[in-house]
Amino acid sequence: MKFLGKEIASPFVLASGILGISASSMLRAVRDGAGMVTTKSLSLTPRAGHDSPIIAEFDGGLTNSVGLTNPGIYEGLEEVEKYKRETDAPIIVSIFGRHIDDFAELAKLVNQSSADFIELNLSCPNVEDEFSRPFALDIHKVGKIVASVSRVTTIPFLTKLSPNAPNIIDIAKHAEEKGSHGATLINTLGHGMVIDIYTAKPVLKNHFGGISGPAIKPLAVKIVHDAYKRLNTPIIGTGGVTTGNDAIEMLMVGATTVGVGTAVYYRGVDVFKALDNELNAFIQQSEFTHWSELIGRVHRD
Ligand SMILES: Cc1cc2nc3c(=O)[nH]c(=O)nc-3n(C[C@H](O)[C@H](O)[C@H](O)COP(=O)(O)O)c2cc1C
């Protein structure tokens, strides 16, 4: 099965920010059954991120306020070269900027590397907005960024959007019209808070963070379902996928491939092997012969 022209061995994609940027940890995910990997989001210059604790667990998943910690695009791309020397499994380089123009500058650098795809993480606070709102909430800014990246790249790129935008489907369509080759849906929800009742304080040092994991899965499934009806480009369905059955839901509503993030915390890196086994067990007992036949099944009569 091909994804945007590249062969993938499984539908599972390591989501951005889960195993950092080191080639060795991303290769480990591939050895364990991931079809593709996404780097942690990279910026033009290194970023320290927020103080610990940066992850707080609750019954339905995690809240995180990592703060986009990363070593910067140059070091990140060195790891991409190391990764590509060892495997043909596609790698998606996630980039983010605080100014609209940062994205094209970053995309140019990724385009010159051995990376297979680029992912635009538009969910970080942007300094061009007086309220510091993420770009992903503003359809016009998303369009501008996508068009600017489209002008300077030859490798395909995906646009990762936020469920905090009530018009996320319109935004995804607009991104597609401006040149995006695919959508990654969704990034974390909220901010949410988790309180330590014994100290009567928020668990996260930063007080609140983005919500991920099983609690957001039905929302992600609905968004992918709606996006599939409007888009002509592939979707990486991401949000709360923890088991093979979750992945099957995601494929059936229209995801071409399935992002896996928080489940790596719950089940370890070998979650990819487990997900592959669970998906294949379903296929073997069904009328289907390959997972790609599940894509968009819900939309057929
Ligand atoms: C600890 C943590 C760090 C994350 N860092 C990033 C990031 O750097 N860039 C990004 O686009 N998404 C980031 N995400 C969001 C995930 O890639 C994913 O979109 C989201 O968590 C929903 O999927 P999940 O429920 O499978 O985790 C992060 C998520 C977590 C839990």
- 214-254 pLDDT, tens digit each: 999 999 999 999 999 999 999 999 999 999 999 999 999 99
70 lines ligand 1 (CB under 6 A): no
User: Distance between CA atoms of 221 and 210, rounded to whole angstroms?
Assistant: 18
**Domain-located, residue 199:** no
**Domain-located, residue 201:** no
**Domain-located, residue 57:** no
As for how many domains the chain has, the answer is 1
pLDDT at 227: 98
- Mean pLDDT score of the chain, rounded to an integer? 96
Query: What CATH number is attached to the domain comprising 291?
Result: 3.20.20.70
- Ligand 1 atom index nearest CA of 160: 11
**Domain-located, residue 205:** no
Angle among Cα 178, 179, 180 to the nearest 5 degrees reads: 110
Q: Tell the residue nearest (CA) to atom 10 of ligand 1.
A: 16
Annotated active-site residue in 44, 124, 189, 271: 124
**Domain-located, residue 170:** yes
Q: Letter for the amino acid at 55?
A: I
User: Distance between CA atoms of 83 and 66, rounded to whole angstroms?
Assistant: 24
**Token pair in block for residue 181:** 């080759």
Q: Letter for the amino acid at 76?
A: G
Domain housing 183: 2-49+68-191+213-299
3-state secondary structure 2-70: EECCEECCCCEEECCCCCCCCHHHHHHHHHCCCCEEECCCECCCCECCCCCCCEEEECCEEEECCCCCE
pLDDT at 130: 72
Q: Tell the residue nearest (CA) to atom 28 of ligand 1.
A: 17
**Domain-located, residue 180:** yes
Distance 63 CA to ligand 1 centre (A): 10
User: Distance between CA atoms of 236 and 219, rounded to whole angstroms?
Assistant: 14
Q: For this structure, is 124 an active site residue?
A: yes
Tell whether the model's pLDDT for residue 184 goes beyond 90: yes
Distance 16 CA to ligand 1 centre (A): 5
